[in-house]
Chains A and B, each alone.
Chain A
Amino acid sequence: MASAELTADARRRPLSGRRLRFGDVALQVVAGAAAFGVTILVLLIVWKVVEGARPAIEKYGIQFIWRVAWNPVVGRELYGAGSFLFGTAITSIFALILATPLALGIALFLTELAPGAIRAPVTALVETLAAIPSVVIGLWGILVLAPVLRSTIEPWLHTAFGFIPLFGEPGTTGASIFTAIIVLTIMILPIVSSICRELFLGIPHELKEGALALGTTRWEMVRGVVFPYARGGIAAALILGWGRAIGEAIAVTQVIGGGVYVGWNLFSGGDTLASKIAASYQGASTNLQAASLIYLGLILLVFSLIANILAQWIVRRSARKHGITRGGHA
């Protein structure tokens, strides 16, 4: 960015009589401290989470990660992340499967199909969906969505497709992994679609014209030019959406029903890493239980960081690739 170079330049070429002003130093030090403070903050977060989980790490080691157990009864305490890891995986992956075609469809609609008058309002509406707090979506999930799912959708899916283990015996309250998947889909939809929308808007117009001028249909052009060009960005969007899904604690805990469950029946209750923490934190009776919950948080943090850094790396790589190609040779 030119401004930083410019002012850095001004520093390196002092005019006659220009001395290092206290104000300049002070501002740079204070602002720099703030900036590096952010780095310290992130490191502190990691440190504190590890420290909080230490009692559980020392007692259970690595095996905690896949152990399926959560028994808080004093004297027979045994904790493990296995079922919650499973819950996180199954809810986030299914939510991603549902949200991806919807998000791509919305992004394509907004960039290729929407007539001028409705383009802006629909874009704003989709962004608004992102602004709804998770606790409100969760409230709606328990009180509106879950009853509907329990009374109509889940029984229907069970009778029609019950031979698929996914659609087993429905529960009694409608709070289930399935409901959580629907809620998570709603929550990650706006993020993925708005990133994809920005991507599609950034595709050079000449590329699309070149394809259409050959006599291809709009869809053929999208498949042949838009998707390949935006491939990296779409991947990053999906990863970011997935990261959001695994981190969502509140809405999920409101609708997922709770329990230690590893199985294929989506209509069963269960828990994810995040939802278990939110559900059990206040009632954590022993230090070991609290530390085990924090251990869950540590696992969640690791996955989030991986997703975040992966997405950032993809974006940087894709930006460089397109940067080179757009600059071009003569």
Chain B
Amino acid sequence: MSTTIEPTVRVETRRTPMPPRERLESIFEVEGLDAIYGAKPAVKGVDMKVYKNLVTAIIGPSGCGKSTYIRCFNRMNDLIPGFRQEGTIRYHGQDICGANVDPVAVRRMIGMVFQRPNPFPKSIHDNVSWGMKVLGIKDDVNERVERALTQAALWDEVKDRLKASALSLSGGQQQRLCIARAIAVEPDVVLMDEPASALDPIATKAIEELMHNLKSEYTFVIVTHNMQQAARVADMTAFFSISQGGEGQRFGELVEYDATEKIFTAPSDSRTEDYVTGRFG
């Protein structure tokens, strides 16, 4: 049993405490996952369970493969030539890494918000409704658009100019629009790859609030390089670090994965401790 430490980060009490571990339902089961670009592994040997209706944060120094890892969950790495994946990720029991699994179906259920806002060159309304229409959701489009924008805490700011171009919004607004766009198609999981790193603190706060409020409907997995953000927002936290392999290869691996309080106040691994106390990384 390690002694409690002085973290550099205060773990604030969240409004809704996490249910006890026995009552958590796992939505992803990762086993022995390796993610490899060409000949260079980005991430190796990850075993992890992601739980439903929680916010799970992935933290670690830059270069430890956090983005690569999260993109495995919705097969976005397939778009990169030379990429291959080994091991399994079971989503509700079904392995989504298999060659016989259609990435289009995977991405339908597992949405993503990217590091830099990437709204389509369409109107605000169409940004949210386009995905729905293409995916076959034809009824109550306007109501759904309003609901998604409300959930993304953007409705009040844009309700009078839904026809305006999405590109006329500020960065923080654009990112919330991207979140609205992602949740409008009602996915199961929303992956967030450093969603607030390009935004100012106020916009960041809005996004963190959003995750709190929507946790009951969606499962969030968020990559962040900001430890304070992880502490504020996440129920579970996974710490990745860079390891040296044979032949001087550097790759990321999962060091510790636990409830956020534990990671930040009483980590089991010394590498985690070094990171959260700011001794390195």
Residue ID in chain B nearest A212 by CB atoms: B107
**Please, what's the 1-or-0 string for B155-187, where 1 marks a CB less than 8 Å from any CB in chain A?**
000000000010101110000001001100101
Q: Is B1 on the interface with A (CB-CB < 8 A)?
A: no
Query: In the complex, what distance in Å separates the CA atom of A225 from the CA atom of B185?
Result: 17
Interchain CB contact (< 8 A) of B121 among A213, A228, A329, A330: A228
Residues of B within 8 A of A210 (CB): 114, 118-120, 178, 181
Query: In the complex, what distance in Å separates the CA atom of A329 from the CA atom of B112?
Result: 22
Residues of A within 8 A of B119 (CB): 210
Residue ID in chain A nearest B122 by CB atoms: A228
CB within 8 Å of A: which B89-111 residues:
104-109, 111
**Please, what's the 1-or-0 string for B70-86, where 1 marks a CB less than 8 Å from any CB in chain A?**
00001010010100000
Which stretch in A126-134, A177-185, A216-224 binds the other chain? Answer: A216-224
Whether B130 contacts A325 by the Cβ 8 Å rule is no
In the complex, 6 of the A-B residue pairs with CB atoms within 8 angstroms, ordered by the A residue number, are A207-B120, A209-B118, A211-B131, A213-B107, A215-B107, A228-B120
Whether B134 contacts A216 by the Cβ 8 Å rule is yes
Q: Is B147 on the interface with A (CB-CB < 8 A)?
A: no
**Which 9 pairs of residues, A with B, have the shortest CB-CB distance?**
A215-B108, A206-B118, A214-B131, A215-B107, A213-B112, A210-B118, A325-B167, A220-B134, A329-B170
Query: In the complex, what distance in Å separates the CA atom of A11 from the CA atom of B118?
Result: 43
Query: In the complex, what distance in Å separates the CA atom of A277 from the CA atom of B169?
Result: 56
Query: In the complex, what distance in Å separates the CA atom of A234 from the CA atom of B28?
Result: 43
Whether B122 contacts A214 by the Cβ 8 Å rule is no
Query: In the complex, what distance in Å separates the CA atom of A328 from the CA atom of B74?
Result: 28
CB within 8 Å of B: which A309-330 residues:
324-325, 328-330
Query: In the complex, what distance in Å separates the CA atom of A193 from the CA atom of B171?
Result: 35
Whether B120 contacts A330 by the Cβ 8 Å rule is no
Query: In the complex, what distance in Å separates the CA atom of A216 from the CA atom of B111?
Result: 11
Whether A211 contacts B104 by the Cβ 8 Å rule is no
Whether A207 contacts B118 by the Cβ 8 Å rule is yes
Residues of A within 8 A of B106 (CB): 215
Q: A214-B131, A329-B170 are in contact. Are A209 and B76 (CB under 8 A)?
A: yes
Query: In the complex, what distance in Å separates the CA atom of A330 from the CA atom of B108?
Result: 30
Distance in angstroms from B131 CB to nearest chain A CB is 4
Whether A213 contacts B182 by the Cβ 8 Å rule is yes
Whether B135 contacts A215 by the Cβ 8 Å rule is yes
Residues of B within 8 A of A225 (CB): 120
Distance in angstroms from B67 CB to nearest chain A CB is 12
Q: Is A204 on the interface with B (CB-CB < 8 A)?
A: yes
Residues of A within 8 A of B109 (CB): 215
Residues of A within 8 A of B135 (CB): 214-216
Whether A206 contacts B114 by the Cβ 8 Å rule is yes
Whether A215 contacts B105 by the Cβ 8 Å rule is yes
